[in-house]
Structure 1
Amino acid sequence: METSRPTLLLLIVIFAAAPVAVSAEKFVVGDKQRWAPNVNYTAWSDSHRFHVGDWLVFYYEKGMYDVMEVNATAYEACAADDPIVNWSRGDSFAYQLNRTGLYYFICSRGYCYGGMKLSILAEPLPPLAPSPRPQDDSAAVPSAPRRFSAWIATVSGAVALALVLWFT
């Protein structure tokens, strides 16, 4: 199989750009308590950092609760008249954060007034930083963050693919 150098370069660039897709994290809203009444969603969201590309997964009791994405005004008033997204079928809903900024979610079935609402801030992906160097020779080498590890795996795969294509 004959592969041109420009084609190889294009493949390497495509694989090197892939870390954005593999670096997304999945957050189960409310953790073990899921999307239900009597959960402090403010404390839950404050304990996590959300980035563009991450997923929020809402698990809830079918027929009892729902999920609506609303604007800030509707969030404060628990108003479900004009939702951006309305999900009331099934027992789960996965939502990908596709932009930076604030997102607002409520349950429209009266539970919002009791606190069943969530606001989160999606930040841009942080730049990849090199791992910190150990202070002395006896210090253990710190492990790389997950996002950096995914990037290394992707680049390694791209290099391996380039070598295979180059020598075949």
Structure 2
Amino acid sequence: MASSVGVFLAIAFLAAIATSTLATEFVVGDDMGWTVGPDYQAWTRGKVFRVGDLLVFKYPKGAHNVHQVDGSAAFVQCAPPSTSVPLTSGNDVIALNKTGDNFFICGIGSHCATGNLKLMITVFPQGSTTLPNNTAQFSAAGFMRFDYFAWTIAACWVLMTILA
């Protein structure tokens, strides 16, 4: 019996490590996509973005673009730097690879300035349990994100207690 518990613990540990590093894919604006008009800051409420997660910007090709800009000045002024190369596929995927504030704007016409086509998110470290403003921790699909490692350790402890 001891060897089967050990095998179970090893499998549970490996599963916890694998599932805790999975990225969440967020489609910006959900069904609305990346378009003029929506309040993208309202869209971010209840979502926790972590390093490794993916942002997907969906829009009709040629209608918009996506610039990732550094700093809030370019974001507030809706002015991508002249060296910024926009994403233009209509299905742009951006991997979140740094913690802190990340800024995205549309550089076409006045879409950013008058159409509110801009997004600011705060990215947390992978595995962080810190939540912005005591917000519930939900993924884009609406399911609570669990800290799989902690849950697995707790489940193993319960099983070991029962089997002991």
TM-score range relative to shorter protein:
0.5 to 0.7
**TM norm structure 1:** 0.63
**For 1:7-156, what aligned pairs fall within 5 Å after superposition?**
17-22=17-22, 24-72=23-71, 73-82=73-82, 86-88=86-88, 90-110=89-109, 111-114=111-114, 115-124=116-125, 125-127=127-129, 146-149=145-148, 152=152
**Whole-angstrom distance in 2 between the partners of 1:17 and 1:84:** 37
Cα distance, 1:85 vs. partner?
5.4
Give the conservation status (yes or no) of the 8 Å contact 2:20–2:148: no
What fraction of aligned residue pairs are identical, expressed as a percent? 35
Q: Judging changes above 3 Å, is the alpha-carbon distance between structure 1 residues 86 and 14 closer, same or farther for their aligned structure 2 residues?
A: farther
Describe the superposition over 1:116-164 as per-residue Cα deviations: whole angstroms up to 9, x where unpaired: 000000012225xxxxxxxxxxxxxxxxx54445885xxx9xxxxxxxx
Say if 1:85 and 1:45 are closer, same or farther in 2 by CA, change over 3 A: farther
AA of the residue aligned to 2:124: E
- Cα contact 2:78–2:112 (8 A) shared by 1: yes
Q: Partner letter of residue 76 of structure 1?
A: V
Give the RMSD, CA atoms, in angstroms.
3.0
Amino acid of the residue matched to residue 126 of structure 1? S
> Which protein is bigger by CA-based radius of gyration?
1
Distance 1:65 1:147, change over 3 A: same
Instruction: State the AA in 2 paired with 1:80.
Output: P
Where in structure 2 are there 5+ consecutive unaligned residues?
A: 1-11, 130-143, 157-164
Is the alpha carbon distance of 1:31 and 1:83 closer, same or farther for their aligned partners in structure 2, counting shifts above 3 Å? farther
Contact 1:34 1:60 in 2 (8 A): yes
The offset of 1:87, in angstroms, is 0.4
1:55 and 1:37 map into 2 onto residues whose CA distance is 21
1:101-122 alpha-carbon deviations (Å, 9 max, x no partner): 0000000002001210000000
1:58-81 alpha-carbon deviations (Å, 9 max, x no partner): 001111100010022211111123
3-state SS in 1 of match to 2:93: strand
What's the TM-score, normalizing by structure 2?
0.64
Give the paired residue count: 127
Structure 1: where are the runs of 5+ without partners?
Answer: 1-11, 128-144, 157-168
1:79–1:108 CA contact under 8 A, matched in 2: yes
- Whether the aligned pair in 1 keeps the contact of 2:37 and 2:117 (CA below 8 Å) is yes
Structure 1 position 46, deviation (Å): 2.6
